[in-house]
């Protein structure tokens, strides 16, 4: 009898049964969640496929752009990089050689004051100074006081050094992005002002005018103080060079407007003519073809990795059941093997004529390197035409890819929208299941509570009977 009582007195003996029942009833919810997880995995896989197709299309668009000159690119060189350095030949379409002589480089205008005693008061004798300074399109009138207040509040003359420092500060304040001004301590007693334009050429020269007072002395000279001097005559601030007999003058040493499409930098003057050369870069042309092949193979691998079927091990890619995605690389390979429409006899019209083929797994590869090099060296215009023509298989491959990636109306966009709808419906069903399970759990707990009440009543009755029998000595 005691063992039966102990069983009855266990705490909440029904709770684990409630949880087990709820767990059994949750199978539908778990199945819905699993379906939702599969759909989300498919959305992710679709996004990856779409990105790989877009990368392929972008590469085709890049190579098909005539301005990029992808299959007959030029490399630049100089016969002497210490004299002239060629930076790019982006706009040149044919191999070219240019002879250049450099008479002078573009310089920054530098104005130097006379060397004067720093602690003397020669400049203050001229009184408050004023000058108009023009650099490029900016003009400013500068004013410099020649007196200051001492510690006792008296007005006293500034030293030559202090006036030069004030003038330099005015130039820096108003022309900080166009000129720099410094006062140098030449020796233990003498100073000198240096003003330098921050850009080269006569266009950015330092133009001082209408100087009066102390600034008139600094700029124009007076007595034993000479006016400013120039390191380079202003008429010679521009660079001067000759290309194939034509003479140019420019305000900078970086030249991009003398020869259309060619950018070069003057380094120093020449003693003899040098050459700037733009010639064919077969290595870069090959790299562009390799990039096209790599972009296709990246797309092919991305699609195959997400649409594979391994029946033996019961494994499959997230998009294996989406036939339109699964067949894309097959379709593109078939298009790639087609002939370019409207090609003339003997003209490059197939990828195979460039030495490019396909393996059984859809991988594109260069199967005849020598032939590709020959086409790029001897028939670059035809190679370019093959990639840029609207009738070429390359253009049709790109068009097929765009049908998949087009925003809102593309095949992948439609698939993605369908998955979103399914995920949304599953969300609704999962939420309904969760509400049902909450209610189910509550009902089961109520049922077991009622059972517990019956058990409790039984225990009370059992205790009453056993107590009565004990009193009877039984």
- Residue 473 in domain: no
Q: Where are the beta strands (DSSP E) in 36-124?
A: 74-78, 84-88, 96-104, 108-112, 116-117
Choose among 190, 207, 210: nearest CA to 122.
190
412 with 323, same domain: the answer is yes
174 and 259 belong to one structural domain = no
Q: What pLDDT sits at residue 474?
A: 65
Residue range of the domain that includes 257: 74-106+238-280
pLDDT category, 6, cuts 50, 70, 90?
Answer: very low
Percent of the chain past pLDDT 70, that is, above it, reads 97
Q: Work out how many domains the chain is built from and give that number.
A: 3
- Whether 130 and 7 map to the same domain: the answer is no
pLDDT of residue 11: 53
Q: How confident is the model at residue 53 (pLDDT cuts 50, 70, 90)?
A: very high
Residues 115 and 144 in one domain: yes
* pLDDT, tens digit (0-9, with 9 covering 90-100), for 380-424: 999 999 999 999 999 999 999 999 999 989 999 999 999 999 989
Cα–Cα distance list, 307 to 1, 41, 300, 401 (Å): 67, 12, 11, 17
Query: Both 135 and 64 in a single domain?
Result: no
Residues 96 and 123 occupy one common structural domain: no
What is the average pLDDT score of the chain? 90
The verdict on residue 85 lying in a domain is yes
User: What is the predicted pLDDT for the residue at 5?
Assistant: 40
Residue 428 lies in a domain: yes
The answer, yes or no, to whether residue 252 has pLDDT greater than 60, is: yes
The last residue of a domain, from among 180, 205, 236: 236
| 206 compared with 459, residue with greater pLDDT | 206
Give the closest residue to 280 by CA, choosing from 75, 97, 66: 75
pLDDT tens-digit series, residues 19-38? 887 788 888 888 888 888 98
Query: 265-280, pLDDT tens digit by residue?
Result: 999 999 899 999 998 8
132 has a pLDDT exceeding 60: yes
Kindly provide the residue ranges of all beta strands, DSSP E only, lying in 254-304, ordered along the sequence: 254-255, 263-266, 274-280
Same domain, 304 and 415: yes
pLDDT at 148: 93
Can you give the pTM of this predicted structure?
Answer: 0.66
| 293 in the same domain as 267 | no
| Most confident region among 150-154, 162-166, 314-318 by mean pLDDT | 162-166
Q: Is residue 177 part of a domain?
A: yes
Q: Are 123 and 147 in contact (CB under 8 A)?
A: no
Q: Are residues 274 and 290 in the same domain?
A: no
Query: What would the two tokens of residue 307 be?
Result: 């649409």
- Cβ atoms 423, 41 nearer than 8 A: no
Q: Which residues contact 194 (CB under 8 A, 6 or more apart)?
A: 110, 111, 112, 113, 181, 182, 183, 184
Region of poorest pLDDT, from 199-213, 297-311, 358-372, 432-446: 432-446
CB 175 within 8 A of CB 223: no
- Quick check: is 471 in a domain? no
Alpha carbon distances (Å) from 395 to 73, 193, 343, 387: 21, 66, 14, 7
Measured CA to CA, the distance from residue 84 to residue 268 in angstroms comes to: 7
Q: pLDDT value at position 387?
A: 92
Alpha-carbon distance of 431 to 438, in angstroms, equals 11
Q: Which residue has the tokens 């097959």?
A: 330
Question: Which conformational region is residue 340 in: left (phi greater than 0), alpha (psi within -120 to 50 degrees), or beta?
Answer: beta
Q: Are 264 and 326 contained in the same domain?
A: no
Pair 40, 95 in one domain: no
Is position 149 within any domain? yes
Give just the sign of the alpha carbon dihedral 8, 10, 12, 16. Answer: negative
CB 1 within 8 A of CB 466: yes
pLDDT digits (tens, 9 = 90+) for 198-231: 999 999 999 999 999 999 999 999 988 999 999 9
Q: At what angle do helices 27-64 and 15-25 cross, to 10 degrees?
A: 40
**Residue 462 pLDDT grade (very low, low, confident, very high; cuts 50, 70, 90):** confident
Residue listed under structure tokens 């007195």: 9
Residues 314 and 418 in one domain: yes
Q: Within a domain: residue 396?
A: yes
**pLDDT computed for residue 446 by the predictor:** 80
What average pLDDT does this structure show over 298-324? 88
The verdict on residue 474 lying in a domain is no
């Amino acid at each position: 009898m005691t063992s039966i009582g102990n069983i009855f007195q266990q705490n909440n003996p029904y709770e684990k049964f409630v949880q087990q029942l709820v767990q059994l009833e949750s199978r539908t919810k778990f199945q819905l969640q699993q379906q939702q997880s599969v759909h989300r995995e498919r959305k992710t896989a679709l996004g990856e496929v779409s990105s790989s197709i877009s990368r392929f299309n972008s590469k085709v668009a890049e190579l098909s752009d005539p301005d990029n000159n992808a299959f007959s690119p030029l490399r630049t060189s100089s016969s002497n990089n210490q004299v002239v350095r060629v930076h790019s030949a982006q706009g040149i379409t044919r191999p070219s050689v240019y002879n250049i002589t450099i008479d002078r480089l573009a310089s920054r205008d530098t104005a130097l004051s006379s060397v004067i005693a720093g602690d003397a008061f020669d400049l203050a004798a001229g009184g408050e100074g004023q000058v108009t300074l023009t650099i490029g399109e900016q003009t400013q009138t500068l004013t410099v006081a020649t007196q200051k207040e001492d510690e006792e509040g008296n007005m006293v003359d500034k030293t030559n050094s202090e006036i030069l420092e004030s003038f330099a500060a005015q130039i820096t304040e108003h022309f900080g992005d166009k000129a720099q001004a410094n006062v140098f301590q030449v020796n233990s007693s003498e100073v000198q002002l240096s003003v330098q334009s921050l850009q080269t050429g006569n266009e950015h020269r330092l133009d001082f005018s209408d100087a009066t007072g102390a600034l008139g002395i600094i700029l124009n000279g007076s007595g034993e103080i000479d006016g400013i001097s120039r390191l380079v005559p202003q008429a010679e601030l521009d660079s001067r060079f000759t290309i194939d007999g034509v003479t140019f003058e420019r305000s900078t040493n970086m030249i991009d407007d003398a020869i259309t499409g060619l950018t070069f930098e003057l380094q120093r003057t020449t003693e003899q003519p040098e050459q700037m050369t733009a010639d064919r870069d077969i290595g870069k042309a090959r790299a562009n073809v390799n990039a096209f092949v790599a972009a296709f193979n990246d797309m092919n691998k991305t699609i195959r990795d997400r649409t594979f079927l391994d029946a033996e091990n019961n494994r499959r890619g997230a998009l294996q059941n989406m036939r339109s995605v699964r067949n894309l690389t097959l379709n593109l390979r078939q298009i790639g093997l087609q002939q370019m429409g409207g090609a003339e006899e003997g003209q490059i019209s197939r990828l195979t004529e460039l030495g490019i083929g396909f393996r059984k797994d859809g991988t594109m590869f260069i199967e005849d390197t020598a032939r590709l090099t020959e086409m790029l060296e001897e028939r670059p215009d035809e190679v370019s035409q093959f990639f840029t023509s609207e009738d070429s298989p390359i253009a049709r491959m790109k068009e097929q890819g765009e049908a998949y990636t087009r925003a809102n109306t593309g095949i992948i966009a439609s698939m993605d929208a369908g998955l979103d709808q399914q995920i949304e419906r599953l969300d609704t069903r999962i939420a309904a299941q969760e509400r049902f399970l909450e209610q189910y759990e509550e009902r089961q707990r109520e049922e077991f509570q009622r059972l517990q009440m019956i058990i409790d009543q039984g225990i009370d009755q059992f205790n009453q009977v056993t107590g009565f029998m004990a009193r009877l000595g039984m």
